[in-house]
Amino acid sequence: MAGAGGEYTHYSFAMVTLEKMAPNVFKIMDLSFFNRSVGWSRILMNGEYGPPGDFWDEE
């Protein structure tokens, strides 16, 4: 677990999975943030952007 920042994720928990590409070089494979209102939100999955969430959107 790591701490994350941003307008809606400041001081929230995050999970990150890294793939070592070279010495001191890593690719972010999976990234999720936790928000008390909506739970875990997947940002990256297998190195690609995850599906958009339904957070506070009406559409």
Q: Is 57 inside any structural domain?
A: no
Q: Is 14 inside any structural domain?
A: yes
pLDDT tens digits, residue range 24-51?
999 999 999 887 778 888 889 999 998 8
CA distance linking residue 4 with residue 43, whole number of Å? 12
Residue type at position 41? S
Q: Is 22 inside any structural domain?
A: yes
Residue 47 is predicted with a pLDDT of: 92
Structure tokens at 54: 């339904």
CA distance linking residue 39 with residue 27, whole number of Å? 25
Cβ contact 9:28 at 8 Å: no
Structure tokens at 52: 């958009």
Q: Is 7 inside any structural domain?
A: yes
Residue 30 is predicted with a pLDDT of: 94
Q: Is 56 inside any structural domain?
A: no
Residue 14 is predicted with a pLDDT of: 86
Q: Count of domains in the chain?
A: 1
Task: Give the structural domain span for 10.
Answer: 2-49
Q: Is 21 inside any structural domain?
A: yes
Tokens 């690609």 sit on residue: 48
Residue 29 is predicted with a pLDDT of: 94
Q: Is 59 inside any structural domain?
A: no
Q: Is 16 inside any structural domain?
A: yes
